[in-house]
Amino acid sequence: MAEAGVASGPLFQPGEIGGLPLKNRIVLAPMTRISAEEDGRANAAMAAHYARYARGGFGLLITEGTYPDTLHSQCYLNQPGLATPDQAASWTPVVEAVHAEGVPIFAQLMHGGAVMMHNRFTDTALAPSAVQPKGEMPPRYHGQGPYPVPRAASPEDIAAVIEGFATAARHAVEAGFDGVEIHGANGYLIDNFLTDYTNRRTDAYGGSTANRGRLAVEVAEAIRAAVPQGFPVGIRISQSKVNDFDHVWEGGASDAETIFSALGRTGVSYIHVSSHLGCGPVFGTDQPLAGLARRHAGVPVIANGRLENVDTAEEVLSRGQADFVSVAKAALADPDWPNRIAAGLRPVAFDPGVITPLATYDCEAAWRAALPED
């Protein structure tokens, strides 16, 4: 059982991101659900899905990663997009359903990069260098076998990537979203550039940590210039990847300072830090990665990583290591997670069956239907 009185604790204090007031410090983390239309349009099932989390008590929702262009950015079958006006229009009912519950929603913009598994526009993945990704494509996202070797991005490709992100951000504004988050984590394109072993470039986008972070900076700057003044723009950053869970930055604390300081200077509204353990100290410091982001970027930070334990989440907030926490697997298992925690009730526990055999709404519904009655 959750402890009594948690509803008045740090998790349930109001907060603010980029001038946008939030009723509490609990954020729905972005989760790939591969349940959009084949052409990337959002649908009624997605509106119901996100509205369910809004009713469940989350202070902010961040969508699954949406692909921003009709070139190389799509990563998964049935992934939603914000690349076209039609895709943008399809998101408006989703946004309206969430707003009807009194909750804001941000769109995450994601370029799949080297770990592309399905793209209806091309057969070739794009990456900083022609380096085959580690591991194999996960079956729960319709994957099978090793990742193919991607094509190294040309300067023209990089310019198109940046413009795609900016265009998708404008589409998010048109769709009614309250903000956007750049996916710069987990082994996707921006993270491919940040990572030393996947980025072997010798130009301005490779070599030093600052150069490898240049794409993240330029995407953030382009989006900031493309959206209205005051519109929240964030970025998600991690060390680990969907295909390399144990990766750590070679430069340790120095890399963290370089990356987060540069992002802070772009004018981003927040940084969303994903870690193995959101409260775990890194690089021999007394701070988790989120704490280093907060120190060096000087903007609000969302911490993610096994923070479904209420005591742990509140400790991260109370120590000033993050301003918000995001919940993924625990939320997937129980969309009412915040409301249950506030009421002192035990949430439904996560089980891998909720994303087995596929990480789709249909598989989730089948898993939920088999749960015992409360």
- Residues marked active site are found at 188
In the block, tokens 């903007």 appear at 299
**Inter-residue contact 238 to 244 (CB < 8 Å):** no
User: In Å, how far are 5, 54, 335, 348 from 345, measured between CA atoms?
Assistant: 12, 18, 13, 10
Angle, nearest 10°, between helix axes 252-265 and 289-297? 40
Q: Determine the straight-line distance between the first and last CA of the chain, rounded to whole angstroms.
A: 14
370's CB contacts (< 8 A; 6+ apart) are: none
In 148-268, alpha helices (H): 155-175, 189-194, 209-212, 214-226, 252-265
What is 305-320 written as a DSSP string?
Answer: SS--SHHHHHHHHHTT
CA–CA gap between residue 58 and residue 160 (Å, rounded): 35
Q: What is the CA radius of gyration of the chain?
A: 19
Token output for 178: 């309250």
CA distance 253 to 286: 11
C-alpha closest to that of 22 among 95, 102, 94:
102
How far from the centroid of its chain's Cα atoms is residue 349's Cα?
22
